[in-house]
Chain A
Amino acid sequence: MATRIECIFFSEFHPTLGPKITYQVPEEYISRELFDTVQVYIITKPELQNKLITVTAMDKKLIGCPVCIEHKKYSRNALLFNLGFVCDAQTNTCALEPIVKKLSGYLTTLELESGFISKEESKHKLIPIMSTLLEDLNATGACTLPIDDANTIHLKLIQLRKDPPIVQEYDVPVFTHCKDLYIKSQWDLTTQQILPYIDGFRHIQKISAEADVELNLVRIAVQNLLYYGVVTLVSIFQYSNVYCTTPKVQSLIDDKSIQEECLGYVTKHGQKRASLRDVFQLYCGLSPGTTVRDLCSRYSQQLHRVDERRLIQFGLMKSLIRRLQKYPVKVIRDERSRPPRLYTGCHSYDEICCKTGISYKELDERLENDPNIVVCWK
C-alpha cells in the first residue's frame, strides 16, 4: 500500500505568538482549526519531546517529533520546533516514522552546528527542502538532498514486511522469479556463495554441504531471501511423496495469468507447450494415497510434454497442491522405556531423516514393523 504524504509542515514556538505553523507545503493544507486541535501534540511539554507522535484528527494523521534545544541565546532560553508529515487518516504510516525521526535528528544537528533554524535566511531554505522531500518521497520513496556545502540528507521509505518463518534444514528454497533478475553483487558474501546451489530441489542441509557454508548461516541467509520475497520454501521432492489438491487449484482454470505462468513453467524443454487439460488432470490426479510414481504411471500420456518435478514445484509455490507429510507417534510404551524424542507427532519423516541421516525407506521399514507406533498423514 502506497504511503502518500499529503503535506509536510514545519511548526515552532514563536516567542510572542506561541505555537504556529511557520511553513507548510502545500500551503494552506492544515487549517487553523486542525492546528488548534492538535497543537498540544506538535509543540509539546518537555515530557513528550523527542518522541515520535502520531495523532489522528479531522480525517488526517499527523506525524512529528518535537525537538527542544535549550540555550541562553534563544529568547525564552529554548528553541522548540517540529517538522512533521500529514497523511490521510486511513494511511498506514509506519514506514514514515524512521524518516520523521531522522529528519528531526538532522535539523537538530544543523541547528547546533550552524544555527540553521534560528537564523531567518537559512530557515527560509526549508521551504524548497520540504517541497523536494514531498515530491521525491511520494514519487520514488527515496530522497537525497544536499542542504548546504557540508551536509546531505539521505532518506528512504522502507516498507516493513512480516517476519519470515524459521527455515529448517529440510526446507527447499526456490526462486520466485527468474534468478537472473537479481544482481548478485548486491547480496552479502554468504548469500552469493549459496545462490548457485538454490535450484528448487536442494534442501538446506544439502546446500550447506555442497556450498561448504555452515548450516546455520545458510538458514539465516535463506531466511533473509524469504523476507524479501526472492525465494519461497517448498518441500523435498521424492517420487514416493504424496500430495493433494487445495481449493486454490481451481485458480488454474479461473486465472489466465496463472495458467500462462504454469504452462510455461512445467512444459518439458524443447517440447510443444503442454495443454491446460493435461496439466489440470495431473494436478487433480494427486490425492492422498497416490505417490508421484503412481501418478507417472497412471498419467503417462499427459506427461509426454510435462516435467513432473517442475509440475510439483509450481504447484507447491502457488499453493495449488500441498504435501502430505508423515508423522510417527509412539502411542504405546511401557513405563520403563524413555519417552519418545522424535516419534511424538511433532516431527515429520522429512525432519527425522534429515536429522538422523537414515533414508526414508529405512525409516519406513523400521516403523512399519513396530506395533507401538501409528503414523498420521497431514
Chain B
Amino acid sequence: MLSPSSVGSPDDPKSMYSHPQNNVYRSGDKTSPISVILVSSGSRGNKLLFRFPFQRAAECPSSLSGKKRNPYALNTTGEVLEDQDGDSREQSPLTDEQLVAGFSDIILATILATKSDMCGKKFELKIDNVRFVGHPTFLQHSPIIQLSKTDPSPKREMPTMILFNVVFALRANADPSVISCMHNLSRRIAIALQHEERRCQYLTREAKLMLAVQDEITTVTESGCPQSPFRQILPKCKLARDLKEAYDSLCTTGVVRLHINNWLEVSFCLPHKIHRIGGNYIPPEALERSLKAISRPYHALLLLESEKALLSQLPLDCSPAMVRLIKTCSAVKNLQQLAQDADLALLQIFQIAAHLVYWGKAIIIYPLCENNVYMLSPHANISLYSPLAEQFSQQFSGHNLPSMLAKFSLPVSLAEFRSPLEALAQEAQLIQMVVWMLQHRLLIQLHTYVCLLIPPGEDEPGLKEEELPLAARVGGRSLSTPSALSFGSPTSSDDMTLTSPSMENSSAELVAGGDSPLNKRMTETLLTSLSEHERQVILSIPAAQSPEDLRMFARLLHYFRGHHHLEEIMYNENMRRSQLKTLFDKFRSVLVVTNHEDPVISIFQSPMD
C-alpha cells in the first residue's frame, strides 16, 4: 500500500486531512519541547526564574510595528479561527514560539509553581494547545537561626525556596510516551538539583543570580527598548545554560547530557528522536515491542555503530560489563554464545542489550549464517536518490544500492551468492554489505514455519468444523519467554525468569534408539492431544511405520502450530536442519509449511507496521 517514501506535498489539495508531513513543515516536531521553564515558590512568592526560548516580541516591539503590511497578505499568523463546534483541533498555523510566548512570566509563575500537595508527583497541565509537564520538588531547609530578634535586617532573613519546578512545554497533541519521557527528564534534573541544594545550596544561589539580573533589567527598561532579562542571565548562570542545553539537545539529537553544578551528571535520551527510519520516527509502541523482543538466546545483537564509535561515547565510569559486551559482540554470534564469550550471565546480556536497543545503538537479528534467507523489507527505501544510496556507494565503491537490493527481490540465501570463482575477499564484502543493509533496515529474514492440519475425514465433516485445530488445543506450553522489560526503564527486570527451553520441552528423556515399551508409551502419550481421527491419519502415513520417525514427529508435535520457526526447533532440540527438513517432507500430507519473517523481531526491520 502506501510506503513512507511516497510523500504527498505539504499542501496537497487532494487531501482534506492535514497529512502528518504538514505538521513537520509548519509547526515543528511533535517530539520536541516548545520551551523549558524554571519556576520556584518561596518566601518571595512565586517566581519565574528562567525560560528559554526568550520572548522575541518582548525584545524590540518597535521593529515589528515598523514593518509595512502588505494589504493583500492574508493575516494567517496568530489568527485563531473560531470553529463553531468549539473544536479544539488546530486551525491556524501558530508557530511554537507564539504558543508559549503568549504566556507572560507572571502567569507562568502562578500556574507552574504549584502548591506543595502536588510535589513529588508528575505535574501535567494543558492550556488550549500547550501542555506543560514537570515534577515539582519540595526543598526542605534547616530552620534559619536568628541570632538576634531585635535585628531583623534583610541580610539575616535569607529568602527561602520552598519548592521548584522544571517544566517543559510541549504541543498538546504530543504522544503520551513523549510526555512521559519529558516528565522523566524533569524528574532527573529535579533530583540532581535537590541533591546539590542540600549539599551546597546550589539552587538558591543560582536563583538569586537569576532574580538579581531580572530586577536589574526591569529598572533599565524604564528607558529605551526592553530587553529580555533571560538573555542576560545566560552568561552568568550555569544552571540557565544547562537548561538551554537540555532544550537544544531535545530539539535536535534527542540526547541530553548535563553536568549540574559541574558535578552531577544527568543523562537522558528521547527514544523518539534517536530511532528514526527515513524521515519518520518509530512509534513508541514499536519501541516497547523492541524491548520485549529481547528474549531468545538464539538471537544475536547487531550494533548499529562501529565498536570504536560506541566505546568512545561511553562515560568514564560506565559498567565494565557493557564494555566487554560491546567488544565481544558480533553479527554471527548468538546471545548465548555472547554470554559465554563475555563471561556474563545471559540475564545480564539481555539487560545490557535492552539498554543498547533503547538508546538506538543496536538491534536484534538472527545470527548471520549461510543458510539465512533474506528478502527486501516492505519498508525499505529503494529510491535512487535516497541518502542511503549515497552512503552505500561511498562505503562500497563500485556498487550501487538499488542493484544490490534488486538481488534480494526474491528471497535468497547467502549461500546462493557464493560462487567457486569468487575470491574470499568478495565474499567478505558481501557479508559486510548484508550487515550494512540489516543495520539500515533494508532487509528482512524469512524463516520456515510449520503447522499441523489434518485433512478432514470424509465421513464426519460436521465434527471437523467444531473441533479446534491443534494449535488452539496444545496451548500453555510456553517456550523460553522471559517477560517484558518495561518501557522507559530498561534496567527494571523483576520478572525475568529464564526457562531453559531444552529442559522443559525437549523430550530428552526418551531413550534414543530402540523400540522399547517405554518409548512406545511416550509416543502414545504425546499423541493423546490429538483426536482419534487425527491419530488415525498420522499413523496411516507410510513414514509413521518407522518408529524412529514417528517418535521424532510426536516429540516435535507441539512446535507444529505455526509459531516456532525451523531454527528455533533446531536450537531447542539440538537437531540438524537436514533432519528436520526430511521429517517435514515425510509428513507433508498433514503439515502445511510457509515462510515469513519472525514476528518477535520483525519490529526491528518493520517498525511502522
User: Which residues of A are in contact with B by a Cβ distance under 8 Å?
Assistant: 33, 36-37, 40-41, 45, 47-48, 51-58, 94, 97-99, 101-102, 105, 160, 163-166, 168, 171, 216, 219-220, 223-224, 227, 233-235, 244-247, 249-250, 253-254, 256, 273, 275-277, 280-281, 283-284, 287-289, 322, 327, 329-331, 340, 344-346, 374-378
Contacts and interface: CB of A to CB of B under 8 A. Distances in A.
B602 A345 contact: no
Nearest to B15: A166
Interface string B197-220: 000000000000000000000000
A30 B596 CA distance: 55
Interface of B: 1-2, 5-6, 8, 12-20, 85-89, 103-104, 107, 110-111, 114-115, 117-118, 122-128, 375-378, 380-386, 400, 402-403, 405-406, 409-411, 449, 451, 453-456, 464-465, 468-469, 471-472, 561-563, 592-599, 602
23 contacts: A40-B110, A41-B111, A45-B110, A54-B124, A56-B124, A99-B86, A105-B86, A166-B8, A168-B6, A223-B16, A249-B596, A250-B449, A253-B451, A253-B469, A254-B562, A275-B455, A277-B455, A288-B410, A327-B382, A346-B383, A374-B406, A375-B406, A378-B377
Contacts of B449: 250
Contact of A289 (B20, B410, B561): B410
A101 B86 contact: yes
Contacts of B104: 47
Nearest to A53: B127
B596 A329 contact: no
Contacts of A344: 383-385
Most buried by B among A244, A283, A345: A345
Contacts of A37: 114-115, 117-118
A57 B14 contact: no
B409 A171 contact: no
A277 B127 contact: no
Contacts of A40: 110-111
Contacts of B8: 166
A98 B88 contact: yes
Given A163-B19, A346-B5, A378 B378 contact: yes
Contact of A250 (B1, B127, B563): B563
Contacts of A94: 88
Given A374-B403, A377-B409, 19 more contacts: A37-B115, A40-B111, A47-B107, A52-B88, A52-B126, A54-B127, A98-B87, A160-B89, A166-B14, A216-B14, A234-B1, A250-B561, A254-B471, A277-B455, A329-B383, A345-B383, A345-B386, A346-B382, A374-B402
A275 B464 contact: yes
Contact of A245 (B6, B13, B402, B596): B596
A340 B402 CA distance: 14
A277 B409 contact: no
Most buried by B among A168, A223, A253, A280: A253
A281 B128 CA distance: 54
Contact of A56 (B85, B125, B386): B125
B17 A47 contact: no
Most buried by B among A53, A98, A276, A346: A346
Contacts of B453: 253, 276-277, 280-281
A48 B15 contact: no
Nearest to A247: B599
Nearest to A232: B1
Given A48-B107, A54-B125, A329 B402 contact: yes
B125 to A, nearest CB: 5
Contacts of A246: 596-597
Nearest to A248: B599
A51 B128 CA distance: 6
A284 B592 contact: yes
Contact of B451 (A56, A250, A345): A250
B125 A41 contact: yes
